[in-house]
Amino acid sequence: MFMFFKQIIDREVGDNFSYVLGDDSTREVIIVDPGFNGDYISSLLVSLRYRLEAKYVVATHHHQDHTAGVDWIRKSFKCQFIAHELSPFESDIEVKDGDIIKVGSVDVHVLHTPGHTPDSICLLADNKLLTGDTLFVGECGRTDLPGGSVEDMYDSLFNKLMKLNDDIEVYPGHDYGPKPHSTIGYERKTNYTLEKRTLEEFKEFMREP
pLDDT of residue 42: 80
pLDDT higher than 90, residue 53: no
Q: Are 10 and 173 in contact (CB under 8 A)?
A: no
Of 21, 33, 90, 30, whose CA–CA distance to 65 is shortest? Answer: 33
Average pLDDT over residues 84-110: 96
Asked whether the beta carbons of 68 and 33 are under 8 A apart, the reply is no
54: pLDDT strictly greater than 70: no
CB atoms under 10 Å from CB of 151, counted, come to 14
The mean pLDDT value for 61-87 works out to 94
For the chain, list the domains and their CATH numbers.
Answer: 3-207 (3.60.15.10)
Helix (H) / strand (E) containing 159: helix 150-159
Angle at 153 between CA 148 and CA 159, to 5 degrees: 155
Contact 94, 64 (CB under 8 A): no
**Over 60: is that where the pLDDT of 1 sits?**
no
Cα 81 to Cα 89: distance, rounded to the nearest angstrom: 10
Residues 187 and 172: beta-carbon distance below 8 Å? no
Q: How confident is the model at residue 52 (pLDDT cuts 50, 70, 90)?
A: low
User: Would you give the distance in Å from CA 205 to the centre of its chain?
Assistant: 24
Q: How confident is the model at residue 208 (pLDDT cuts 50, 70, 90)?
A: confident
What single-letter DSSP state applies at residue 92?
A: S
Q: Identify any residues that bridge with 51 across adjacent strands, giving them in sequence order.
A: 28
**Contact, 55 vs 139, CB < 8 A?**
no
Beta strands 51-58; 28-32: pairing state: parallel
Element (H, E) at 38: helix 38-48
Whether 169 contacts 127, CB under 8 Å: yes
> Could you report the per-residue pLDDT of 17-28, keeping only the tens digit for each?
999 998 888 888
Q: How many CA atoms lie within 13 A of 70 on its CB side?
A: 23
